[in-house]
Amino acid sequence: MIAPITITEKAIAEIKNIMENKNIPTDYFLRIGTKGGGCGGMSYALGFDKAKDDDQKFTISDIPVLIEKRHYMFLMGMQIDFFEGDEARGFTFINPEIPVRHDV
């Protein structure tokens, strides 16, 4: 199965850095998901977790990735990037169809 998302090289480097420096257990995956709507619309989440029965599993640039089946359609086509600025740094979700960034 092809992953519904892409991850930029900058984000891949930061994810691998976190996995190594934060001692993420080897049986954990990068979980990518969504959070409820509300007035602000859809928000996105990243974290590390063990696999559950309703997860889709992918490998992106040697990073084991999980997406819960019910979140799959909301993540289709998204790109995860990492930014570093003078006042902030973090991951961001970019939908190439809509020129709006969603920071995590």
Instruction: Report how far residue 85's alpha carbon sits from residue 25's, in angstroms, rounded to the nearest whole number.
Output: 29
| Tens-digit pLDDT profile for residues 19-64 | 999 999 999 999 999 987 656 667 899 999 999 999 999 999 999 9
Give the lowest-confidence range in 14-18, 27-31, 78-82, 87-91: 87-91
Instruction: Indicate the class that CATH gives domain 6-103.
Output: mainly beta
What strand order describes the sheet that includes 6-7?
6-7, 79-84, 89-95, 98-103
Q: How is residue 2 written in tokens?
A: 């092809």
- Overall average pLDDT of the 87-94 stretch: 91
Q: How far is CA 91 from CA 27, 47, 83, in A?
A: 23, 11, 6
What's the mean pLDDT when you consider all of the chain? 88
The conformation of residue 87, written as its DSSP 8-state character, comes to S
Give the list of residues 6+ apart from residue 56 with CB closer than 8 angstroms, or none: 1, 66, 67, 68, 69, 72
Predicted pLDDT at 100: 55
pTM for this entry: 0.84
